[in-house]
Structure 1
Amino acid sequence: MKKINIMTTGLITKKVLLLLLFITSCKDKPLEELKNYYDNGSLKSVEYVNEKGNKEAENKYYTEDGILSYITTFKNGNPIKTLHFYDNGKIRYSSELKSKDTIEAISYFKSGKIKNKGNLINDIKVGWWTEYFSDGNVHKEYEYLINDGKEYQNQIKVYDKNGKIIENQSSFFTVNLSDTLNLGKNEGNLIYCSITNKNSERHLYVIIDNEYEGGVIKKDTFFIKENGKNRFGVYAYKLGILKVKGMILERELHEKKDERYSELEFIDHHKYFQKKIYVKK
């Protein structure tokens, strides 16, 4: 009985070892290296493909002068990171997949310091982007939204070299609204800064998409009288998580003059915001 047990154990061990060797050999299949050349004979690219013909790993691409132009890293045929280079070998631009549809994009000065950075979705800028001076200090901050499928600049902050906001070149806002609201009527506050036009009269409104009983959504409009005391109302008709959506309407009224006549003209500027809050009793 002991001999039979020993022999059986040995057979099982051999089978396990063979299975492990088979799995390892499948996982470690070498990638095929493909080299492409320009007509002048210089190397154009070095690419790697797996057994399915999909690009893998770091693929390098060169100029006709033999200078490394960019490197793209692939995973099963999908690009996940790209680095573009200056002629001096330093990174000029990088893009990296951070989630299913979001790419982090960064541009660099020739010195190697960051020039600007932000996120892209389908080549459209989203969220806050930052632009820098060559010394590394922040120059501008932009907020982008996707509006009707298009890129929309919602806010801009411009800074001097000492880090102070230049208000007459900036247009931004701050919404003060508690993270927790009571059931029923609530109040929020808006601080607004905009590029002023001395030749026009400005009117400011906050429009909130308030949802009432029965799921009825009304666009409640609040006229802003004095900056710093800009109040608007939020109605919470049910308990739990509530997404507050609002729009800031800046309406400029100015005189449009011609040689023969003059007329008043409205120019509207829109900014958007939203915030998730919790409603309690």
Structure 2
Amino acid sequence: MVGRGLDESEESRYIQGLAQVIAGESPNRFFQMGQAPDVLRMVGMQDVRVSIHGDVLYKAMADFLHLPKRSNKNRHNINPEAMRQIPAQMNDPVAVFATRNPRTQERAFAMLTSLSETDLFTQKEKPLLVALHLETTHYGERVADVKSVHGRRPSQIQTDLDWNLLYWHTEKGQQLSEIFGLQLSPVISAQADLSERDFMTEHDLRQYVKGEIPAPLPLKLPDISRLCPRDIGKQVYELINGDLNRLDAVIAALEKKGYSFDAARLNGVPDHPATMKEAFGRAIRLLPQHLQHAPKQERSR
């Protein structure tokens, strides 16, 4: 299924960095992993290089290898053998979630793997997640940095499934959900009409790798009947995670709810969540036939 992506070989720079940490070293440099996997590009990531810093590798295995405590912050208990599988897991993950880079507020991604981390306190297994942020180098090049490899509580994964899902591998996902007791909605568990999906699957990925662009997914809106356009705009922007490539889906979904969306209102608006949310609110208008039922918008004092 995978057409291109991260280097999975034993001679890769990633494996070299891993070996240095396992040997007790603390490499203060980035290790190139390859190009963004097909699955990430399919859900909206740019075609960029992916790298991981030695510090991230160190923290991921620090407790398992009993490495010196340079800091107690963000230390993890991940088996080196699991870490060796990270490139392959990222090339063909269980799921991809939409997140945010807390520093820049730009869209970011988290990849759910079929690996796990043993919690030191509870001794329970936690699904292993890989978090990536888009960054800009000193030379102006856009790259994707792996910011963390860590176990995540099943309850947190459940929240991501309910609200942030971009991609789901149906077979792997079913197996993982049975292991960790995740509750899958009918849409995710493939018991509903595919037209109801607002995420992609391995079927879409196969199409993408072949050069066949998957059909755009419909956008499912929550209940917005009691919201004014300003608040609807904020919710819609967050729902698409700032991806302006989904404006056609936004327009179609809002029309079904009785609203129009004037995309021209976004022209010249700085690409930042705060300004974009306001612009989305200004772009939304209730269609004439629905005006009498519109909720009142409070005036600012």
More helix by share: 2
With normalisation by structure 2, the TM-score equals 0.27
TM-score by length of 1: 0.28
By relative contact order (CA 8 Å, sep 6+), the higher-ranking structure is 2
Considering fraction of residues, name the structure with more strand: 1
